[in-house]
A and B are shown apart, each in its own frame.
Chain A
């Protein structure tokens, strides 16, 4: 907590020009400039959108796998296939994705060999693209297995197999059992972790750095870019973005846990 508070204090002072090699003292100019340029807002909207889509698809797919194949998912081979992506670092997954989805990658070559495309330019942009397809695919592949394991665990602990049998015995159809029992029981137990994963993805760095486009960029990438500028007068703007991002994430986390403790209490 102390190092975090110290780093935050340092960033805050830097953002107001109180410290910094080329700064001359307190000013609101850096904050005004960040708001004027709109870079923070663009990056925030871009990051929130990517994190939301990734979490939504991951959670939906993991729920489907869990409810549909919960018995098969406990098999040795399938378990191994779930655990494996968890052991692959994001940066490695991003490089794999470049090898597979780039214009000169594996899929592009197959597509050329099969006659679907006549050259590199015909293959669609799946990485460094405006829709962040590459980023979202990698985030899903990294996050979804975790959710499958989490949901399987809740499935067992909450005795969902018995609860679904009970619901059927009380007259619930398959879809009523899913919507009124399985989903509420699982999501009620896991929504905090899902929200935390959303916050975690909001700050993703390596994956969007490798697979993202030039502009807009995800928040972490934007912050590091600003902090490493050759123009030293711009560094303070990087700290402004970092401070705003930290405040936003801290507020979200506090709200999350205060709501959780209210529910538990």
Chain B
């Protein structure tokens, strides 16, 4: 397995936030994780990214233990819920950030950023500052900035949570295309049922700090805990009432 997470525990003030966390994920796959607010999703991702220390457990990436390595050296990128861009940098420089800090030559950076801007369908916006583009465009820039560094693992923390339905749909399509183009391995956290089903090669459900990974889509749908059955029933009932 490419990503192996074994028995991760995390508590704040003796309250367990994440417990017995185990994940196994193959390379170039996306595990979507459904969970309500406050269930420990963000803490889980930040621990894997190295931004929050773990109390115990082991994280391995491609067979190498990374839980004792600092965040900047893990090659794991954490993408925030908000479209968090560096406010002092243009769209171009935001995307180039990860390459600039690796001191890659300017002409290579330029070529790769221009290519990424095309992939993100942001042509003509390169010189704009973050406050001059829309929320959806900012989230695309954040995506591009994360992907261009070619991270071993991408952690997406409800990345489309703040977008309207139309933009969200476009972003989902964009992510699926980029994930395929750039062979991304990722954990995709969301509180949206449909999004969880659409985005993941595998699906998991998190509740009160515990993660349950389903062996296939139907077992996820048939588990009453996930809420899919209740949701389906709601729409069925609505349709019956109407006709």
* Closest partner residue, chain B, to A180 (CB atom): B101
CB of B49 closer than 8 Å to a CB of A: yes
Known contacts A170-B98, A172-B72; A188 and B78 CB within 8 A of each other: no
In whole angstroms, how far apart are the Cα atoms of A123 and B39 in the complex? 65
| Partner-B contacts on A (CB < 8 A) | 158-159, 162-163, 165-173, 176, 180-181, 184-185, 188
In the docked arrangement, what's the CA distance between A83 and B194, Å? 52
Docked pose: A188 CA to B131 CA in angstroms: 14
The answer to whether B84 and A171 touch across the interface, beta carbons within 8 angstroms, is no
Known contacts A184-B88, A188-B88; A170 and B51 CB within 8 A of each other: no
By a CB distance below 8 angstroms, the chain B residues around A185 are: 86-88
Q: Which of B50, B70, B77 contacts A170 (CB 8 A)?
A: B77
Give the total of B residues in contact with A, Cβ under 8 Å. Answer: 25
Contact of B51 among A165, A171, A176 (CB under 8 A): A165
Q: Considering only CB atoms, which chain A residue lies closest to B51 in the complex? A: A165
Are B49 and A169 in contact, CB atoms less than 8 angstroms apart?
Answer: yes
Of the candidates B51, B84, B101, B149, the one whose C-beta lies within 8 Å of that of A163 is B84
Kindly identify, within residues 93 to 107 of chain B, every residue whose CB is under 8 Å from any CB belonging to chain A: 97-98, 100-102
Docked pose: A188 CA to B90 CA in angstroms: 14
Mark interface residues in B49-83 (1 if CB within 8 Å of A CB, else 0): 11100000000000000000011110111101010
Which B residues lie at the A interface, using CB under 8 A?
A: 49-51, 70-73, 75-78, 80, 82, 84, 86-88, 97-98, 100-102, 145-146, 149
* Alpha-carbon separation in the docked complex, A168 to B75 (Å): 10
- Distance (Å) between the CB of B110 and the closest chain A CB? 18
Nearest Cβ distance between residue A94 and chain B, in whole angstroms?
A: 38
A-B contact pairs, 13 of them (CB 8 A): A159-B84, A165-B51, A168-B71, A169-B51, A169-B71, A169-B72, A170-B77, A170-B101, A170-B146, A171-B73, A171-B75, A171-B101, A173-B72
Q: Other than the known A166-B78, A172-B72, A184-B88, what 13 A-B pairs have Cβ atoms closer than 8 Å?
A: A158-B87, A162-B80, A162-B82, A163-B84, A165-B51, A165-B71, A168-B50, A169-B51, A170-B77, A170-B97, A170-B98, A170-B145, A171-B73
> If A165-B51, A166-B78, A166-B80 touch, does A171 touch B88 (CB 8 Å cutoff)?
no
How close is B161's CB to chain A, nearest CB, in angstroms? 15
Query: Which 6 A-B residue pairings sit nearest by Cβ, starting from the closest?
Result: A170-B98, A169-B78, A184-B88, A168-B71, A168-B72, A172-B101
A173, B49: Cα distance in complex, Å: 15
Nearest-neighbour CB distance to chain A for B97, whole angstroms, equals: 6
Q: Which residues of A contact B98 (CB under 8 A)?
A: 170-171
Bound together, the chains give a CA A53 to CA B115 distance in angstroms of 46
A167 partner, pick from B70, B76, B97, B102, beta carbons under 8 A: B97
- Are B84 and A166 in contact, with the CB atoms below 8 A? yes
Q: Which residue of B lies closest to A187 (CB)?
A: B88
> Which residues of the other chain, B, contact A165 by a CB distance below 8 angstroms?
51, 71, 78
